[in-house]
Structure 1
Amino acid sequence: MTQNAENTQDQQPTFNQPGGQQFAGAQPRRLTRPREGRMLGGVCAGVAQYTGVDVTVVRLLAVASCLFGLAGVVVYLAGVILMPQE
């Protein structure tokens, strides 16, 4: 085996974290609904934690999308059903 092949086998995989940061050997983040800090289903709080955006901004965007069409309600309900709890 060559020296170069041995080095690539010993390296741990890198995962992209929100914000473009890379951490070697870190576990990939999961989009989950937290048990604390939630108002209704916890979808906005989970998205805020995952993206690193303030939860108030995410909630305002969710309310605006629900007011301007049925798509916001459908996406929120899909998040409640599909996103696992912490």
Structure 2
Amino acid sequence: MEIVAQACDIKNPDLIKVKYKHHITDFKAIAVFLMRNLCNYSYKEICKEIGNLTLSRVAILSNTGFKLLSTEAKYKDLFSKLLEETRVT
């Protein structure tokens, strides 16, 4: 979460659990996408982990996260950076 938060210029990764913070939507979307694909979380597990999200909202965030990672220049290297960081630890 910290690496994704840094890439999205979010100072506090715990903001992911706060409702109505629209400036962290990209952060939520990428985090949900990575939780879904790297950690094999189900939509239901993601809802429980983040809180205050419906299954449909998690699905939308996951799709948005994929689009951001594949099209936005500032997020293109995030996936490889994350994999490198996990390989080091």
Q: Which of the two has greater helix per residue? A: 2
Q: TM-score, normalised by structure 2?
A: 0.30
Q: TM-score, normalised by structure 1?
A: 0.30
Of structures 1 and 2, the larger Rg is shown by 1
Between the two structures, name the one with larger relative contact order (CA 8 Å, sep ≥ 6): 2
